[in-house]
Amino acid sequence: MFKESFVYNGATVTIRRANVRSRLLETIVYRNFDIAEGMPLDEWLPIQSFVEFLTRSEIEGDLGFKIPAVTAPTEEIMASFDEFLSQDETFYDLYIDAKNKVQAVIGDPVTAPPEPGKKKS
């Protein structure tokens, strides 16, 4: 399963599994942040979540906040980052669930979806 979609605020958000392109695009976005080696997890995790969302998502409709291009000026990236962090927990739960599904290890019986017609035990 390389894509997973959810609907939020009437917009359809499709999360793609990470690939070389998304990983390279992450590098572009990270340049907008003041990242230091050993920075506290409470500072790092929000940045990482936003960057992964920005580089692995396709959005159809109005999500409720602006999603800039990865090459947008720093001001636009930071404004979107602030809006991303301001979303309610429903948005975050839907996003994390979709992200976890597409990043699941292929063939892992714990994380793999059930086969069609079969219930997961």
Confidence of residue 103 (pLDDT cuts 50, 70, 90): confident
What are the tens digits of pLDDT across the range 29-71? 999 999 989 999 999 999 999 999 999 999 999 999 999 999 9
Separation CA 72–CA 13 (nearest Å): 20
Separation CA 16–CA 99 (nearest Å): 8
Query: Is the Cβ–Cβ distance between 101 and 1 less than 8 Å?
Result: yes
Separation CA 80–CA 68 (nearest Å): 7
pLDDT average, residue stretch 70-99: 96
Residue 21 C-alpha from the chain's centroid: 14
pLDDT average, residue stretch 13-28: 94
What pTM does this model have? 0.82
Which residues 6+ apart lie within 8 Å of 80 measured at CB?
50, 54, 65, 66, 67, 68, 72
- Would you put residue 38 in left (φ > 0), alpha (ψ -120 to 50) or beta? left
What are the tens digits of pLDDT across the range 29-40? 999 999 989 999
Task: Give whole-number Cα distances, 118 to 25, 60, 67, 121, in Å.
Answer: 38, 32, 38, 9
Q: Is the pLDDT of residue 121 over 60?
A: no
